[in-house]
Amino acid sequence: MDRFFKIGERGSTAEREIRGGVVTFFTMAYIIVLNPLILGFAPDVNGHFLGGGTGDGSNLPAIAAGTSLVAGVMTILMGVVANYPLALATGLGLNAFLAVSVAAQMSWSDAMGLIVLEGLVILVLVLTGFRTAVFHAVPAQLKLAISVGIGLFIAFIGFVDAGFVRRVPDAAHSTVPVQPGTGFYLQGWPVFVFAIGLALVITLWVLRVRGAILLAILATTVLAIIVESIGNFGSSADNPVGGWSLNVPKWPDKIIETPHFDTLGHFNLLGSFQSVGVVTALLLIFTLMLADFFDTMGTMTAIGAEAGLLDSEGIPPSTQRILVVDSLAAAAGGAAGVSSNTSYIESASGVGEGARTGLASVVTGVLFLFSIFLAPLVSVIPSEAAVPALVLVGFLMMQQVAGISWDDLEIAIPAFLTIILMPFTYSISIGIGAGFLAYVLIKAVKGKSAQVHPLLWVVAGLFLLYFAIHPITVLFT
């Protein structure tokens, strides 16, 4: 096992890998609950619900089972094939786009067919070397900026999920787009639990306690169960000020649940072209593909940077294999009827715990497979207990900002835009696109166009198309 995963060669141990894999699972297990909530209550153009539901939530267990199955299989594949500490699951953002924008125009099977097509297109781009070539064309310091931006992004996610920062429901009629949540003033016991968890993980980390992140998650979960048993606060849906944001940390009535896989195989590969026309279908595929394409590039760079696995040009080992597995995961998510699967930046929490090889991914994947049957047990861990790890890991990734030459405006301005726009727009792809466009623009106006890799010009043009996708869609449809 040591030779296969190169555990000793990368300065790790089997214990660290296992611990890191467990931590990664805990920090992203929320997707098992959240993905069914996003996909399960959205009717398609015909008024039908994914997995044969009727709008009463009866289809949620089937979506959860499919979510866990694909995440488990593809994460294990990432570990075995690419030997990289990177976990995969249904991509947030893409699933919401699918539920709100795509399914409203076609049936769920047609929408999932679009996801399969998008994954296959990306796979072709990987196998032809285009995706890897684009990755090599990006300047090393822009790759650092991507890692730093993702660090701020996941820290922001942690604070939002904990209630410290609140989304303003109607930002157009508000003076601020986000504002301090009730948790910022420690209103509500769930947020207090998060604050204790954050203090605990910081304390354990600075004291260099082995397993600091995992111990903090477990201890905070126990505290959450105790707090809920005393106060009975329930979910935030029922108690907006004092409720738990997602999972309510109660010990379940049963541990094992018989899974149903009603979403698997329910996709129509080319049905979308008949439903909405060729032009609209192609534009939707392009939108999904570009977001998926660059999210993964940024994520694997950030994970490699934190793990110390990047070479002098900022390239992770086995880049081609990582991208192949990620592309297959996108198609697999569509084929299983649970939306596109992609690489998760929450994997950084496992890397922070010591993970350096694919063994950690295998552990995470196995836990996802177990969660198919142990879904009630997984739901015990509230997000308030898991997201303190994201805040700490955000700090660790932020430290890479020192590697950017801030006195060189040609790289500093693109890096700055990359870093700030990821959390500000809640999108990795938008941050990367803005950075690329700024880099190309600055080089062009300074008469240094020859220094820009030809592929970067192509990518910049694609991002222009991506940002202008709405008027283009209106013009051609």
- Could you tell me which residue, 238 or 69, shows the higher pLDDT? 69
Examine the pLDDT at 379 and tell me if it is beyond 90: no
Mean per-residue pLDDT, 362-368: 98
> Where does the pLDDT of residue 74 fall: very low under 50, low under 70, confident under 90, or very high at 90 and above?
very high
Mean per-residue pLDDT, 288-306: 85
- Could you tell me which residue, 421 or 96, shows the higher pLDDT? 421
Quote the number of domains for the chain: 1
What are 184-206's pLDDT values in tens digits?
Answer: 455 678 888 999 999 999 999 99
> Where does the pLDDT of residue 412 fall: very low under 50, low under 70, confident under 90, or very high at 90 and above?
very high
Mean per-residue pLDDT, 11-32: 93
Mean per-residue pLDDT, 294-306: 89
Amino acid 287: pLDDT: 75
Amino acid 173: pLDDT: 53
Amino acid 193: pLDDT: 93
Examine the pLDDT at 101 and tell me if it is beyond 80: no
Amino acid 72: pLDDT: 98
Amino acid 477: pLDDT: 66
What are 143-194's pLDDT values in tens digits?
Answer: 889 889 888 988 888 888 787 777 666 555 555 566 665 544 556 788 889 9
Amino acid 376: pLDDT: 74
> Where does the pLDDT of residue 210 fall: very low under 50, low under 70, confident under 90, or very high at 90 and above?
confident
Examine the pLDDT at 306 and tell me if it is beyond 80: yes
Examine the pLDDT at 93 and tell me if it is beyond 60: yes
**Mean of per-residue pLDDT scores for the chain:** 88
Domain carrying residue 462: 2-476
Percentage of the chain with pLDDT > 90? 48
Number of Cβ within a 10 Å radius of residue 46: 9
Percentage of the chain with pLDDT > 70? 95
